[in-house]
């Protein structure tokens, strides 16, 4: 008849010997001392004789207890290593991704790319301001952050560089001050770029619309409320009219898109995510976003 060893009983035996007694083992394992005694009685029954010759102040295993202890150490060690390995493997197949509000349009293509190329058991996405997502990454609540900002460390990889251009009705670009549609958040990348570009060129402007995100700015621009500084591919993406060249100052810079991996994410998954991001950006923005770089 086959008899299977319970790893909990073997762990109890090892802990009793290592800590020097039943009471200390109970404290170390966070179980009651009667439970410890019951475990040892079950081992006694299993091997057919006492595991300990003495269990008081002078703890002494029996010969069969010594032999069982040697195997118990090996089995407990193997069990713990296997559980740790499987848990790590399970974590590697889970991904929590943070995407800044400005790039929410890339989400469908990115999700498709990740699910097609990475064996994930669970995928979660949250959006928000890039600085808030960076804090979430530091706290460990998400694994990856995609945002529009220059790389600030070795963990941040540049996935693409996005160029921008002015869109809206041509006559609005000739007004003074220029009516501008922007995101409501003053730290939104496109709003910061809009204000810096106009300030640098000393062009007077007034804010006529503040939207929650890029899609809101697109709607305001299409309706003729104002002009908007958007991705260069906005004419293809949303059917917007580009402001004639020279009517407004060129943007003061392009936008690097960075992908930052948290410390718990495996290098393999981080690399696969970077490739998926590049592919998704290429499909979303077309050839207007500039050269891709590692």
What is the overall mean pLDDT for the chain? Answer: 86
Q: Please report the pLDDT score of residue 230 as a whole number.
A: 95
Are 107 and 120 contained in the same domain?
yes
Are 108 and 138 contained in the same domain?
yes
Residue, of 115 and 222, whose pLDDT is higher = 222
Rounded Cα distance between 130 and 113, Å, is 22
pLDDT of residue 178 exceeding 70: yes
Joined together, the tokens standing for residue 51 give: 């595991």
Does residue 170 lie in a domain region?
yes
Per cent of the chain over pLDDT 90 is 42
pLDDT of residue 294 exceeding 70: no
One-character DSSP codes across 198-232: HHHTT--EEEEEEESSHHHHHHHHHHTS-BEEEET
Which residue segment(s) compose the domain that 230 sits in? 164-238
Are 170 and 112 contained in the same domain?
no
Domain count, the chain: 3
Does residue 288 lie in a domain region?
no
Are 15 and 132 contained in the same domain?
no
Instruction: Average the pLDDT over 112-129 and give the result.
Output: 77
Rounded Cα distance between 207 and 184, Å, is 10
- Please write down the long-range contacts of 109-114, taking CB distance under 8 Å and 24 or more positions apart: 109/279, 109/280, 109/283, 109/284, 110/146, 110/276, 110/277, 110/280, 112/280, 113/275, 113/276, 113/277, 113/279, 113/280, 114/272, 114/273, 114/276
Are 63 and 102 contained in the same domain?
no
Question: Which of 37, 65, 90 is the endpoint of a domain?
Answer: 90
Q: Please report the pLDDT score of residue 292 as a whole number.
A: 37
pLDDT of residue 171 exceeding 80: yes
Are 86 and 100 contained in the same domain?
no
Rounded Cα distance between 245 and 230, Å, is 15
Are 194 and 146 contained in the same domain?
no
Burial of 288 (0-12, 13-18, 19+ CB in 10 A): middle
Q: Running DSSP on this structure, what letter comes out for residue 242?
A: B
Does residue 227 lie in a domain region?
yes
Are 131 and 273 contained in the same domain?
yes
Joined together, the tokens standing for residue 34 give: 């009667």
pLDDT digits (tens, 9 = 90+) for 187-226: 889 999 999 999 999 999 999 999 988 999 999 999 999 9
pLDDT digits (tens, 9 = 90+) for 17-33: 999 889 999 999 888 99
List C-alpha distances in Å: 116 to 121, 125, 168, 174. Answer: 12, 16, 37, 48
End-to-end Cα spacing for the chain:
61
| 3-state SS, residue 145 | strand
pLDDT of residue 124 exceeding 80: yes
């Amino acid at each position: 008849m086959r008899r299977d060893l319970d790893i909990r009983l073997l762990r109890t035996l090892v802990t009793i010997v290592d800590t020097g007694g039943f009471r200390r083992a109970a404290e170390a394992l966070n179980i009651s001392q009667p439970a410890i005694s019951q475990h040892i009685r079950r081992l006694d029954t299993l091997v057919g004789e006492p595991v300990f010759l003495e269990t008081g102040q002078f703890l002494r295993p029996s010969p069969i207890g010594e032999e069982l202890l040697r195997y118990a150490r090996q089995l407990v060690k193997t069990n713990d290593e296997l559980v740790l390995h499987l848990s790590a493997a399970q974590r590697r197949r889970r991904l929590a991704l943070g995407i800044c509000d400005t790039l929410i349009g890339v989400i469908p293509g990115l999700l498709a790319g990740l699910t097609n190329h990475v064996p994930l058991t669970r995928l979660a996405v949250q959006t928000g301001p890039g600085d808030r997502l960076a804090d979430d990454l530091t706290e460990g609540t998400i694994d990856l952050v995609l945002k529009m900002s220059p790389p600030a460390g070795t963990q941040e990889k540049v996935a693409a560089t996005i160029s921008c251009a002015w869109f809206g009705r041509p006559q609005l670009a000739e007004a003074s001050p220029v009516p501008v549609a922007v995101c409501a958040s003053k730290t939104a990348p496109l709003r910061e770029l809009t204000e810096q570009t106009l300030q640098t060129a000393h062009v007077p402007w007034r804010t006529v619309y503040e939207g929650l995100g890029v899609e809101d700015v697109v709607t305001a621009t299409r309706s003729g409320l104002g002009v908007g500084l958007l991705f260069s591919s906005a004419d293809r993406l949303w059917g917007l009219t580009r402001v004639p060249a020279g009517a407004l100052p060129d943007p003061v810079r392009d936008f690097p898109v960075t992908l930052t991996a948290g410390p718990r994410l495996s290098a393999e998954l981080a690399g696969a995510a970077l490739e998926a991001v590049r592919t998704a950006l290429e499909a979303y923005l077309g050839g207007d976003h500039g050269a891709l770089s590692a």
